[in-house]
Amino acid sequence: MKKILTYMTVFAAVLMCFTSCEKNKDPEPTEIAANLAGDWQGYIQEYKRYGDTGNDYRVNDDQKWVVMRFNKTHETGGNGYQVEFKNDHMSQLAGNDARNEFTWLVTSSRIEITYNTWDRVYFQFDKNNFPTSSSFKGDWFIFSQKYKFQFDYTKRTFNEWGKYFNI
């Protein structure tokens, strides 16, 4: 009887290990899209690809302060707005083309953004650190991969969209 009880105890311990050691699964596109919806503000740093091999990125411009709004219009995407400023005081636009509208879509591996007048881009981020309720960071690339941008955003409401867009 004692031997059976010992075997049952060991079996229960092994079973608990297998049920509690569940592998972390990647977030679903619908989950990422739900967390991405809203206003985000933060810095981007632009890099340009140099050299014949195309493997080397170098800093191209100063950091810019970016404000983005992701409107969720379906399960995994929607439309949005982006404004770039020269600094976080949001007192001066970064240039004549410093604002744009876009559509976005979360796929299984990235967030794809199509701007109305700029190049298409995609966001690459750590799936263990996907957009949470308050922070979002990683890299985004022009589809040609000629440029990349490192970004570090915080979820913060921006109340001046009407200054830049007809909304």
Domains of the chain, first to last:
29-157 (2.40.128)
In order along its 167 residues, the chain shows pLDDT tens digits of 555 545 445 455 555 555 545 555 777 889 889 989 999 999 988 888 775 555 666 676 678 899 999 999 999 999 999 999 988 778 888 777 689 999 999 987 789 999 888 788 888 776 666 666 688 888 888 877 777 888 889 999 999 999 999 88
153 three-class SS: strand
**Burial grade of 8 (CB within 10 A; 0-12, 13-18, 19 or more):** exposed
CB atoms within 10 A of CB 125: 17
pTM here is: 0.77
Q: Are 77 and 71 in contact (CB under 8 A)?
A: no
For residues 102 and 115, give the distance between their C-alpha atoms in angstroms, rounded to a whole number: 4
